[in-house]
Amino acid sequence: MIAIEVISKTYASARALQQVSFEVQKGELFGLIGPDGAGKTTLFKILVTLLLPDAGKATVAGFDVVKDYKMLRTITGYMPGRFSLYQDLTVGENLQFFASVFGTSIEANYALIADIYTQLEPFKNRRAGNLSGGMKQKLALCCALIHKPEVLFLDEPTTGVDAVSRKEFWEMLGRLKNRGLTILVSTPYMDEAVLCDRIALIQNGTILAIDTPEGITTHFTKPLLAIRGADTYRLIKDLRTAPFTHTCYAFGEYLHLTLKSESVDRTYIEAFLQQKQHRQIEMHPISPTVEDTFMSLMDRQ
C-alpha cells in the first residue's frame, strides 16, 4: 500500500533522511519508532505530499507522491504532530469545515467516525482550543477520517497525551485497522511499538531494523541481565567500567546490562560487585524489549 524506495532528504544543515526504504502492506498498522529528530516527521511530510524528496521514489496506493499528489490528497488522511485545527471554531464546525473542503459531508461518512465522535458529542459546541489534550487528538483523528481515506498517516498522535487517552487512542486505531484502513503511525514511545503489526526503528534518518515487534528483538543477540542494587548511581558507574560489560542502561528501577559474551558467569559478576562493596544485589536474566533492541542497534551504528 505504501512503498518507499531509497528516499533521501537534506535540509540546509542536516541530513534528515538517508536512503530510507520500506513497504507497508494493505490493512497493516505500521509503526515508525524513533526518538525526536530521527526524521519521522520529514518522512511523513514527504508521504502526504507536503515536502519533495531530494532523491528516491515513494508511492501510496500506487500513486506517486510527487507526480500524483492531487489524487493522493483525496485518499490519504493526515494528522500532524502538532494540533492544527482551527482553535476558534467549535468541534462541530471544524469537522463540518474539513468535510466540506473534501467535498463530502459528516453524514456520508459518519459510520467511520461514529465511535470516536460519540465521545466528542457532548463538547460539540465547544471551541477546539478549549478541549483537553486527549479530546483534541480525537477531534483531529475525526477530521483526518471524515473523507474516508484509504491510508491514514498519524505523526506522533499520542505525544503529550495522558496514559488513559493513549490507551483509548490505540484501541481506536485497532478498530480502524479492522475496517481495512492502512495506518502508518509514528511514536517516540517504545511501549506503543508492541501494539503495531510491524515496526521500523529509525534513528538519524536511517532505518535500523524492520520487523514485527516480537521479531525485532531477535536483532538483539547478546546476553541481557536485569540488575538492581542499593546505590543505583554507583552501580551504573562501576558496571560501565567493568571488563565484562558491553553496555549498561537504566530502565526504571533496574539496570539492563549487556554482556560482552555468553561465557561471562553470573557468579563472576556477583564477585565483582561484592568486591566493589555493593549491597542488596538482585540479578536475573531477561529477554530483550524493543527498547533494548533499539539501544543496541543505535549503539552498533
Partner 1 sequence: MRRILFLVEKEFKQILRNRVLLRMMLITPILQLILLSYAANFEVKDLQITIVDSDHSTYSRRLVSKFSHIENFHISTYEPSYKQASLQLLKNSSDIVLVIPPHFERDLYRNNRAEVQLMVNAIDGSKAGIASGYAASIIRDFNAEILTENFPAPPLQNGQVMIANQYWYNPQLEYKTFMVPGILFELLLLIGGLIASLNIVREKEVGTMEQLNVTPIKKYQFIIGKLTPFVIIGLVQFTAGLLVGVFLFGIPLEGSILLMYMFALLFLLLCVGLGLFISNISQTMQQAMFAAFFCLVLFILLSGLFASTENMPLWAQYLNYLNPLKYIIEVGRNVMLKGSSFYEVQSQFFALSLLTVLILSLAMWRYRKTV
Q: Looking at 98, 117, 220, 294, which residue binds partner 1 (CB under 8 A)?
A: 98
80 binds partner 1 per the rule CB under 8 A: yes
If the CB atoms of residues 46 and 264 are measured against partner 1, the closer one turns out to be 46
Asked if residues 295 and 190 have their Cβ atoms less than 8 Å apart, the reply is: no
Least separation, in Å, of the C-beta of 116 and partner 1? 17
Residue labelled with grid coordinates 456520508: 108
Three-state DSSP class for residue 195: helix
The radius of gyration computed from the CA coordinates of the chain, to the nearest angstrom, equals 23
How far is 216 from 219, CA to CA, in rounded Å? 6
Site for partner 1 in 227-266 (CB under 8 A): none
- Evaluate whether 79 touches 113 at the Cβ level (below 8 Å): no
Pairing of strands 198-203, 206-211: antiparallel
Is the Cβ of residue 64 or residue 291 nearer to partner 1 in the bound state? Answer: 64
Residue ranges of alpha helices (H) inside the chain are 40-47, 69-75, 91-101, 110-120, 133-145, 163-178, 213-216, 232-241, 266-275, 290-300
Q: Minimum distance from CB of 141 to partner 1 (Å)? A: 13
| Binding of partner 1 by 89 (CB under 8 A) | yes
Query: Whose Cβ is closer to partner 1: residue 104's or residue 212's?
Result: 104
End-to-end CA distance of the chain: 29
By CB under 8 A, the residues from 9 to 68 that bind partner 1 are 45, 48-52
Report the nearest approach of partner 1 to the CB of residue 144 (Å).
9
Residues 114-153 that bind partner 1 (CB under 8 A): 143
Instruction: With CB under 8 A as the rule, give the number of residues binding partner 1.
Output: 29
Stretch that binds partner 1, among 95-103, 130-138, 167-175, 186-194 (CB under 8 A): 95-103
- For partner 1, the binding residues (CB under 8 A) are 45, 48-52, 69-70, 73-74, 76, 78, 80, 82-89, 93, 97-98, 100-103, 143
